[in-house]
């Protein structure tokens, strides 16, 4: 966000005397930053992330019908072919912002009581894990993540739900459940095999 405003963090926040550099949550976040951050300052973008954010719109304009996964691959290919672009344009900015970020973390830590530090560390860990999971989910979605394999019962339900007699969805599900319980082991084996095939398909597509 600071980069988009065209000013370094120190100049931008000189008036309020504070900057957002740490992963801590506290009430006196300066009002000059977006409320969408929920009180959590962001780490500086890495040189590769900054590089990608600038290159993706260019590739998108050149290839308006391309999928996001294809654009990401083009960005990665450009970085491999011209590593000096990232080095010259972005790494110096990242190093400077990282130094300022670490200095502010140290300053905040020195001001917090030990009890508050412990609770914040737990909160930080939980939020980082959630963020990593969300990022992974988004990346997989952009790359065309396949649907998870259905269970044996789910396959049977999908097949028989439409065949159930008229009634509410709850009534139909109850009917399908009773029919499933009445199936013999040999009849259920058909759906077990279909579930295994779906699992193999899912694993192969995830690897690709």
CA pair distance 163, 159, nearest whole angstrom: 8
Taking residues 96-125, report their average pLDDT. Answer: 82
Taking residues 176-204, report their average pLDDT. Answer: 91
Residues 176, 164 contacting (CB under 8 angstroms): yes
Residues 195, 151 contacting (CB under 8 angstroms): yes
pLDDT in tens, 14-45: 333 333 333 333 333 333 333 333 334 568 88
197 band by pLDDT with thresholds 50, 70 and 90: very high
| pLDDT attached to residue 27 | 33
pLDDT in tens, 125-145: 898 899 888 888 887 777 777
pLDDT in tens, 137-188: 887 777 777 888 999 999 999 888 877 766 788 888 888 888 899 999 999 9
pLDDT in tens, 74-96: 888 888 887 776 667 788 888 88
Q: What residues contact 68, with CB distance under 8 A and at least 6 apart?
A: 142
Q: 43: closest CA among 2, 72, 11?
A: 2
195 band by pLDDT with thresholds 50, 70 and 90: very high
How many distinct helices (H) and strands (E) make up the chain? 10, 0
- Is the predicted pLDDT of residue 193 greater than 90, yes or no? yes
| pLDDT attached to residue 122 | 86
| pLDDT attached to residue 192 | 93
CA pair distance 150, 57, nearest whole angstrom: 37
Taking residues 113-130, report their average pLDDT. Answer: 83
189 band by pLDDT with thresholds 50, 70 and 90: very high
Q: 86: closest CA among 96, 75, 97?
A: 75
Q: 80: closest CA among 107, 99, 55, 45?
A: 55
CA pair distance 41, 32, nearest whole angstrom: 12
| pLDDT attached to residue 190 | 92
- Is the predicted pLDDT of residue 58 greater than 50, yes or no? yes
Q: Which two tokens stand for residue 46?
A: 């890495």
């Amino acid at each position: 966000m600071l980069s988009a405003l065209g000013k370094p963090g120190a100049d931008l926040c000189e008036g309020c005397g504070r900057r957002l550099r740490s992963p801590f949550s506290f009430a006196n976040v300066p009002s000059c930053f977006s409320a969408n951050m929920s009180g959590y300052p962001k780490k500086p973008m890495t040189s590769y992330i900054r590089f990608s954010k600038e290159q993706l719109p260019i590739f998108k304009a050149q290839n308006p019908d391309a999928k996001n996964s294809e654009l990401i691959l083009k960005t990665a290919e450009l970085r491999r072919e011209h590593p000096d672009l990232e080095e010259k344009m972005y790494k110096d900015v990242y190093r400077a912002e990282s130094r300022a970020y670490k200095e502010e973390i140290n300053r905040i830590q020195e001001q917090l009581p030990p009890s508050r530090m412990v609770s914040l560390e737990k909160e930080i860990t939980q939020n980082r894990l959630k963020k990593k999971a969300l990022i992974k989910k988004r990346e997989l979605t952009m790359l065309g993540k396949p649907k998870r394999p259905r269970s044996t019962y789910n396959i049977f339900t999908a097949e028989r739900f439409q065949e159930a007699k008229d009634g509410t969805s709850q009534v139909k599900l109850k009917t399908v459940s009773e029919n499933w319980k009445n199936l013999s082991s040999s009849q259920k084996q058909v759906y077990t095999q279909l579930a295994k095939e779906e699992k193999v398909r899912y694993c192969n597509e995830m690897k690709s």
